[in-house]
Amino acid sequence: MLSHQTLAALPKIELHRHLEGSLRLTTLFELVREFKLDLPTDDIDALRAYVQITDEGGDFRTFLSKFVVLRQFYKSREVIERFAYEAVADAAADNIRYFEMRFTPMALAKAQGFALEDVTDWVIGAVEKAQRKFPITVQLIASMNRNEDVSIGERVVQVAIANRHRGVVAVDLAGDEANFPAAPFAPQFERAAAAGLGVTIHAGEWSGPDNVRQAIELFHAARIGHGVRVVEDPAVLLLARDRGVTFEVCVTSNVQSGVVQRFVDHPLKTMLEQNLRATLNTDDPSVSDITLADEMHIVGGSLGLGLDDLKRMTLTAAEAGFLPEAERRKLVTQFKTELARVE
C-alpha cells in the first residue's frame, strides 16, 4: 500500500467537493464565539460533534443534519468569502491542481436573506483571490436541492448562466434523493445546457440505479455525483458505459451516510473492473474529516487499489472536467506527463 506521504505529494484533481462541506473546524469555532451562536463553545471538540461525522455514521439523515447546523454560520459577506478562500487553500495544500468546487447559493443566502446573485459574486471573488495565491485552477458548479421548490432551481440556473464567463461552468442537482424526485428540475437543466453549462446530477447514492438511468436519459448528465448503485442493474451499467458517463465517487461519504456499510464493501473496484469512468473525490471533507490523499489511502487499504488505479481515476477526472475542449486536452496532457514521473 502506498504511503500517505506519497499520496499527499501526488498531483490531484477533484470534481466533487461541496463548499458547504469544506469549512475549517477552527474557523467555525472562531465564528461560534464571534456571533454567539447557540452551540457549545467550551472547546473545539464539543463543536466537532455538531458539524462532523464522529462515531455516528451510517445514516444519511445524520449526515444531512450537519448541514442544518452549518447553515447557521453564513452570517456575512466576509464569512462567506473566508469560507470560499479557505476551501481553495485547503485543496491546494492537498496538491489538488484542478478543482471543480460546487456551491449552493440558496444554502449560503437563506439564513440572512442574502440575494443569490450577491453570494455567488462573493464566492467567485474569493475563489479568484485564492487562485492568485495558490497553484490551483478552480471552476465552480452551482448546485440546487431537489427538496426545495423548483423556482429556486430556476433562480440558480439564472445566476449560473449570468456568471458562466466568471468561472461557473456547470449546474448540479443534490439533496434528499430518497424522498424527492428529480424530474421537475429537468427543464432548468435543459436551459442550462443550452447556455453552454455542464450538467452533473447526484443520483444512485441514497436511491437505486433507476435514478442513474433518469440522470442520463432525462437530464443528459455528463457526470453523476456518486452513482455507486449503478452496479445493481447491469442494463443501467451498460447504458452508463456506452454513454461515457463519468462517476464522481466519494467513498468515505458513502460509508458515513449509509450507502454502503463498510469500506471493503464499496463498489468502486467493481466499477473500475466494469470499465466505468470513475473518479475519486471527498464530497464534504470537513464533515468527513478527510483529505483527498486520505481517500486515496483508504481505497488502497480497503479495496486493494494501487498507484495505477489512482492514476487512471485522475486522468479520467482530467478528461471529464467541464472545460472547453482545448483546455481539457491541455489538462490531460499535463497530468499524463506529471503522473508518468510518479512511481
Give a yes or no: residue 154 inside a domain. no
Give a yes or no: residue 273 inside a domain. yes
Count of the separate structural domains present in the chain: 1
Q: What is the pLDDT of residue 214?
A: 98
Which residue segment(s) compose the domain that 323 sits in?
4-72+168-340
Element (H, E) at 200: strand 198-203
Q: How large is the angle between the packed helices 116-133 and 77-93, nearest 10 degrees?
A: 40
Give a yes or no: residue 108 inside a domain. no
* CA 280 – CA 249 distance, rounded (Å): 5
C-alpha cell at 28: 467555525
Say which CATH number the domain at 313 has: 3.20.20.140
Q: What is the pLDDT of residue 14?
A: 98
- Residuewise pLDDT in 10s, the chain (343 residues): 788 888 998 999 999 999 999 999 999 999 999 999 988 888 999 999 999 998 756 788 889 899 999 999 999 999 999 999 999 999 999 999 999 999 999 999 998 999 999 999 999 999 999 999 999 999 999 999 999 999 999 999 999 999 999 999 999 999 999 899 999 999 999 999 999 999 999 999 999 999 999 999 999 999 999 999 999 999 999 999 999 999 999 999 999 999 999 999 999 999 999 999 999 999 999 999 999 999 999 999 999 999 999 999 999 999 999 999 999 999 999 999 999 998 7
User: Among the residues of the chain, which ranges form H helices?
Assistant: 4-9, 25-35, 44-51, 60-70, 77-93, 105-109, 116-133, 150-162, 186-194, 209-217, 234-243, 251-256, 268-273, 285-288, 292-303, 307-320, 325-340
Q: What is the pLDDT of residue 56?
A: 58
Give a yes or no: residue 235 inside a domain. yes
Give a yes or no: residue 133 inside a domain. no
**Distance linking the first and last C-alpha atoms of the chain:** 13
Active site members? 205
C-alpha cell at 192: 442550462
Give a yes or no: residue 149 inside a domain. no
Give a yes or no: residue 94 inside a domain. no
